[in-house]
Amino acid sequence: MYMSQNSIQKRRDIIACIIGNVLEWYEFSLFALLSPVIASLFFPSKNPVTSLLSALSTTVEN
């Protein structure tokens, strides 16, 4: 079956969006799981909640 250039481009765009979305969610979940470790290593404090909040606040983007 012959597919037009337009439908091939649409399929590529959809696949690229899906791959990008999966990678973004993987990165987000990995950071969420490792944030207590990152907090204790990079933001040492007497209060672990303060360290965790400091680590999580670095993920905010403009």
Domain locations in the chain? 5-57
**Tokens 């470790």 label which residue?**
37
Side chain identity at residue 46, one-letter code: K
pLDDT for 61 equals: 60
Residue 53 has pLDDT above 70, yes or no: yes
Q: What is the pLDDT of residue 38?
A: 87
CA dist 26 and 7 (Å) reads 29
- 55 burial type by CB count under 10 A (0-12 exposed, 13-18 middle, 19+ buried): buried
Q: Which two tokens stand for residue 36?
A: 């207590």
| Averaged confidence pLDDT in the chain | 87
Hey, what are 11's tokens?
Answer: 């399929």
- Of the chain, the percentage scoring pLDDT greater than 90 comes to 39
Distance between CA atoms of residues 1 and 38, nearest Å: 52
pTM, two decimals, is 0.66
Task: Say if residue 20's pLDDT is above 90.
Answer: yes
